[in-house]
Structure 1
Amino acid sequence: MTDKDFQVDYIVVGAGTAGSVVARRLLDRTDATVLVLEAGQADTNPAIRDPLRMHELWHGAEDWDYFSVAQSHACGRRLHMPRGRVLGGSHALNATIYVRGNPADYDSWAARGDSGWSWRAMEPLFRRIERYDRDDSGVKGTAGMLDVLSDYAVDPIQKAIHAAAEQTGVPANPDYNSGVQDGVGRAQFTLRDGLRQTTADAYLKPALSNSRLTVLTGARVHRVLVRRGRAYGVAGSIDGRAFVASARTEVVLTAGAIDSAALLLRSGIGPAQELRAAGIEPIADLPGVGRNLLDHWLVPVIFGAEREIAHTPGLPHAQTQLFWRSESGLATPDVQPLHFSVPLYEPWMSGPANGFSLMAGLIRPHSVGRLTVAGAHGPTLIDPKVLAAPADLRRLVEAVRLCRQIGAAPALRAWNATERYPGPAVRTDSDLRDYIRRTVITYHHVCGTCALGTGPEAVVDPALRVRAVEGLRIADASVMPTITTGNTNAPTIAIAERAADLMAPAR
């Protein structure tokens, strides 16, 4: 017997980047009732709104505060993997950077069995999402749901970093979202009037007065309920009180690449042999659940500065970035350094408070990880296998070298910039590899654990329906079969828009 039962047409698990979009589109396009279940609480923390206070949210109430298992190729460290546990999800914790990705990303998805995932099909979805402040290219959206800021004056230190990158041979690129990514330029942000705007702000909150929508916060979903091969609801708890929710039409998982996969596993949907070993009775043998875990990786290159660095209120610390290819012949950029106008020291580091960080980012990793669960009520075991592929270490070495060259370029001499880390003692390739293993961190872009496709490892079909279970769909970053070239928030929104089209075509 439960304390509370719900019956609706659609259940959406997770009110983050994707869930907010799916719920809103279902309301707009159907007469259905929609129940959104969010494990976190309302997004009332002032640090969420201020893009300069992102770091305050990590390890706090709004963060699931996940850690990987010990990483054998990263000095045995357990890496912090922040994930949003709040209305707005990880979009409430991220750096607000908006990157569509590379057209080749989506064409590779389409090659897995459905032209609906090609760039030609996905590009209009981005225009539907976007409300850009300006569009000189003619390829952007200016009347969509989500504000994107691209026209602003960067801080002086960011202007100097931009110039320094050009001095090292990186071309200027005024708009990486116009089709060509390569080069250095301003980042584009999901901000409105200097405040973070999540998809919960843009899509979900304006619909809260709709009588067909119910949003429950503090609602932890423990398992998907399946009867005779069909998902008919979910079971969970709210503040320790059990509930069951039934869906007449579909259950949609939008809990993110960690929690959507973990929920399937705890529900008995996944690799049957592994589930039995964990004490979970399998109800659908899907070997790909939890496999194909992908992420982007960052390595800090940190400089102290004598000239005072100022920060414009309402703009993030990372205002410029670049896309670059670590070797010739690559089809897309594989490196994306982010430029933070603060020194991002690790706990064991020390240095002046006035400085900047050129975060060497690897965005086309070869290493592939996985996640499992330690029983129906046990923890989620996350193993990204960072740097397991030798190519990843080699390309990060090149990315760090580029960042060191940028920091030493003439444009930054007026700041009296001094490299603190890796520092002058790190000289040889072997030294650099050791430094990378000691400092590599996640870019917070985990994806791929419920990959779409048609092969034996695919978890969802090209229509995002979970294989072997009717009435169950997944619409978040977990369905990415390969990781996109750049930040994954915008592609996740586009996945949710695509899911809505599949479930309820626009009227």
Structure 2
Amino acid sequence: MNDFLPSDLPEFADRVAANQHRLNENPRGSYDFIVCGAGSSGSVVARRLAENPSVEVLLIEAGGGDEVPTVMEPAAWPGNLGSATDWGFVAEPNPHLNGRALPMSMGKVVGGGSSINVMLWARGHRSDWDFFAKEAGDESWGYDAVSNIFRQIENWQGTPDPRHRGTGGPVYVQPSPDPGPAAMAMLGAAKEIGIPTFESNNGEMMEGEGGCAVTDILVRNGRRHSIFRAYTYPFLDRPNLTLLTGTQVSRVLLERGRAVGVEAVRNGRTLRFNAAREVVLSLGAIQTPSVLMRSGIGDENELRPFDIPVVRHLPGVGRNLQDHVSFGCIWEYREPIAPRNTANAATLYWKSDSALKTPDLLFCQVEFPVPSPETADRAPAHGWTMFAGLALPKSRGRVRLRNAEPLATPRIEANMLSHPDDVKTAIACVDVCRALGNTRAFEPLVARESLPGPIGAAEMERFVRDSAVTYWHQTCSAKMGRDAMSVVDSKLRVYGIDRLRIADGSVMPRITTGNTMAPCVIIGENAARALRDEHGI
């Protein structure tokens, strides 16, 4: 069913192009707010601030526009990895992964991760949000409060569920249409081994032990419906919202302990933009701590070797880095089956130990083989992957400066599987995968289990270390909280610096149980509400 909006019309695109050309050609000397990064949180903040026509907003994005096939065509998303829409980060060699250095893709395009990801809308578990509220000391982060925001912002296209879902909001969410045979087999396999199934991977399913469901995705009229498209694009014809692409923020400008603007590089030129009210960093869990450190905000022991003057000693900047680590268990098809939609129509959350009350494992089914380079020689030409991993890893990594150069790529110490409990949970995760994939439900589709197969304990540990890859959910490197390692308070204000906030996945105290796009939208919404309340807009 077509569901066209005014912003879909060609004349609207022409109006946006003319307006943004004028705003870029005649930039203001100062803006009320500068939002750095047009990703899943920054797009929300910029839109919500610009809803007040008297507020001037500058939105700065390092990447370019999103009108490219790999972004807009749902099935083409793998083409973003390693492309111009990807920052192309690579983590440091990890001894816990047998010395492997994992690519850490992140979106470098308007929409950020929401423009290059698998489009899966996953709100997180009740326990995640209640943990956020406890850490922040603020019930506005609790599950009940966040659920109310989700109902306000969703335009849910599935079976009506007024207790959990909303309609009429900017985010167009639908169940994956016409799921393929592998997705339906996944639901049958879950039932077969005693895992409950649900109509959606959001709502009731993520209030208890978990379960299996067809995925909720952000696709509208056959095209990716990124958070940028949902929130920001419909406002780009307005005179008070300037979008500056191809511009990388290098540092925050600070005077007497407060943010007064940002320094950025565009086409090799260093530019300065002034903020009359606040600066908001929405650059993601790799770039946000990097910009903070280059600005003199971070661990003084990290800054001094680079001769960066310390403005505020915040030892938590760059620490607590978390990500979902995944292990590709792969089955060969009897006959090739073409992927449908986003090639990911079923997802599952479950427990590595029956004694647990909430899920600690995350499973996303992918309708083609996804091996690591180290396991690729055993992968079939045609098959499906249980892209399964640790929903709540205990390992912690770190983002550090490589040098003090304005645009230098930081060092990413992902540190996956460094905690021994994560290795045990990884092996339990693979056991659940094998139980699912070898059920009767999959027999009509599957010729054999390709990876890992029935192997011994030592070989299984080697498999999880060799097959481990990232879910591309880098988060938590500038966490919200009240302890000595916290970087922002419950209103996302950077401790000790006035007029500077962070609104992106780096503020999560811990990674959410599931894909991180939807939680980043909530972070943007809460940041915008705090800004509007504080500034009376």
Tell me how far apart the structure 2 counterparts of residues 195 and 64 of structure 1 sit (CA, whole Å): 23
SS of residue paired to 1:149:
strand
**Residue of structure 2 equivalent to 1:168:** 193
Q: 2:492 — aligned with what?
A: 464
In the TM superposition, what whole-angstrom CA distance separates every residue of 1:145-171 from its partner, at most 9, and x where no partner exists?
010012632111221222123222222
Superposition deviation, residue 5 in structure 1: 7.2
Q: What letter corresponds to residue 413 of structure 2 in structure 1?
A: D
Structure 1 stretch displaced more, 353-362 or 293-302? 353-362
Amino acid at match of 1:55: P
Task: Give 1:399-478 correspondences, 5 Å limit.
Answer: 399-424=429-454, 427-478=455-506
Deviating more after overlay: 295-304 vs 143-152: 143-152
Structure 1 position 4, deviation (Å): 8.0
1:101 and 1:491 in contact (8 A); partners too = yes
Tell me if structure 1 keeps the 8 A contact 2:372–2:466: no
Match of 1:247 among 275, 278, 281: 275
Deviation per CA, 1:174-204: give whole Å up to 9, x if none.
2231133311110110111221111110111
Tell me what 1:299 maps to. Answer: 327
More deviation in 466-475 or 342-351?
A: 342-351
Q: Using the TM superposition, give the Cα deviation of residue 30 of structure 1 relative to its aligned residue in structure 2, in angstroms.
A: 5.9
How many Å apart are 1:331 and its aligned residue? 3.3
Looking at structure 2, the residues matched to 360 and 176 of structure 1 have their Cα atoms a distance apart, in angstroms, of 15
Equivalent residue for 1:320, pick from 329, 335, 346? 346
Alignment partners' CA distance in 1, 2:500 and 2:185: 50
Matched, 1:389 2:389: no
What is the SS of the residue equivalent to 1:451?
coil
Contact 1:256 / 1:478 at 8 angstroms: preserved in 2? yes
2:105 maps to 1:82: yes
In 1, Cα distance between equivalents of 2:228 and 2:349: 29
CA drift at 1:447:
0.7
2:244 paired with 1:220: no
Say which SS state the counterpart of residue 469 (structure 1) adopts: coil
Paired position in structure 1 for 2:83: 60
Deviation string for 1:290-343 (max 9, x for gaps)? 01111111000011112231333xx11110011101102323200011111111
Within a 5 Å distance, the mapping from 1:77-476 to structure 2 comes to 77-112=100-135, 113-138=137-162, 139-150=164-175, 152-181=177-206, 182-312=210-340, 315-348=341-374, 349-350=376-377, 351-377=379-405, 378-424=408-454, 427-476=455-504
In the superposition, the TM-score normalised over structure 2's length comes to: 0.91
8 A contact 1:103–1:179 mirrored in 2: no
Partner Cα separation in structure 2 for residue 151 and residue 196 of structure 1: 12
Distance 2:220 2:356 in 1: 36
Q: Secondary structure at the match of 2:318?
A: coil
> Which one has a larger percent helix, Structure 1 or Structure 2?
2
Structure 2 unmatched ranges of 5 or more: 1-25
Structure 1 pair 4/154, CA: closer, same or farther in 2 (3 Å)?
closer
Contact kept? 2:380, 2:450, Cα under 8 Å: no
Counterparts of 1:363 and 1:416, CA distance in 2: 27
Q: Is the 8 A contact 2:176 2:345 kept in 1?
A: no
Which segment is superposed worse, 371-380 or 78-87? 371-380
Cα pair distance change 1:153/1:484, threshold 3 Å? same
SS at 1:398 equivalent: helix
Q: In the aligned structure 2, how far is the partner of 1:328 from the partner of 1:293?
A: 28
Q: How many residues align?
A: 501
**Contact in 2 for aligned 1:129/1:494 (Cα 8 Å):** no
Measure the CA separation in 2 of the matches of 1:460 and 1:279. 25
Counterpart residue identity of residue 141, structure 1: G
Moved more, 3-12 or 240-249: 3-12
Equivalent position amino acid for 1:281 in 2 = P
- Structure 2 CA distance for aligned equivalents of residues 127 and 29 of structure 1: 22
Distance across 2 between alignment mates of 1:103 and 1:451: 19
Deviation per CA, 1:244-285: give whole Å up to 9, x if none.
000000000011111111110111100012110233221111
1:17 is paired with a residue whose SS is coil
Cα distance in structure 2, aligned partners of 1:459 and 1:385: 21
Distance in 1, matches of 2:185 and 2:143, equals 34
What amino acid is the match of 2:190?
A
Give, as a single letter, the amino acid of the residue that structure 1 aligns with 2:100: R
Q: State the one-letter code of the partner of 2:486.
A: A
Contact 1:262 1:372 in 2 (8 A): yes
User: How far apart, in 2, do the equivalents of 1:109 and 1:479 lie?
Assistant: 10
Match for 2:184: what amino acid?
Answer: K
In 1, the alpha carbon distance for the partners of 2:27 and 2:47 equals: 24
Counterpart-to-counterpart distance in 2, 1:355 and 1:6: 56
Aligned partners of 1:347 and 1:457: how far apart in 2? 36
Whole-Å separation in 2 of the counterparts to 1:150 and 1:143: 16
Cα distance in 2, alignment partners of residues 126 and 268 from structure 1: 36
Residue in 1 aligned with 2:32?
9
Secondary structure of the residue aligned to 2:150 is helix
Distance in 1 separating the partners of 2:337 and 2:286: 37
Deviations 1:219-244 (A, max 9, x none): 11111000010100001111112210
- Give distance in 2, aligned partners of 1:157 and 1:150: 16
Q: How many angstroms does 1:484 deviate by?
A: 0.8
The one-letter code sitting in structure 2 at the alignment partner of 1:423 is G
Give the match's secondary structure for 1:336: strand
Give unpaired runs (5+ residues) of structure 1.
Answer: none
Q: Report SS of the residue matched to 2:182.
A: helix
Distance 2:134 2:402 in 1: 35
- List 4+ stretches of structure 1 deviating above 3 A: 3-6
Match of 2:41, SS state, is: helix
Structure 1: distance between partners of 2:525 and 2:41: 8
Give the partner amino acid of 1:356. Answer: W
- Relative to structure 1, the CA distance from residue 274 to residue 416 in structure 2 (aligned partners, 3 Å threshold; closer, same or farther) is closer
Query: 1 CA distance for matches of 2:519 and 2:261?
Result: 27
Contact 1:300 1:421 in 2 (8 A): yes
Three-state SS of the structure 1 residue aligned to 2:303 is helix
Query: What do you get for the CA RMSD once the two structures are aligned?
Result: 1.6
Q: What's the CA shift for 1:480?
A: 0.4
| Aligned-partner Cα distance in 2 for 1:158–1:107 | 31
Question: Could you tell me which amino acid in structure 2 is paired with residue 401 of structure 1?
Answer: D
Deviation (angstroms), 1:135: 4.1
In 2: Cα distance, 1:274 partner to 1:416 partner = 52
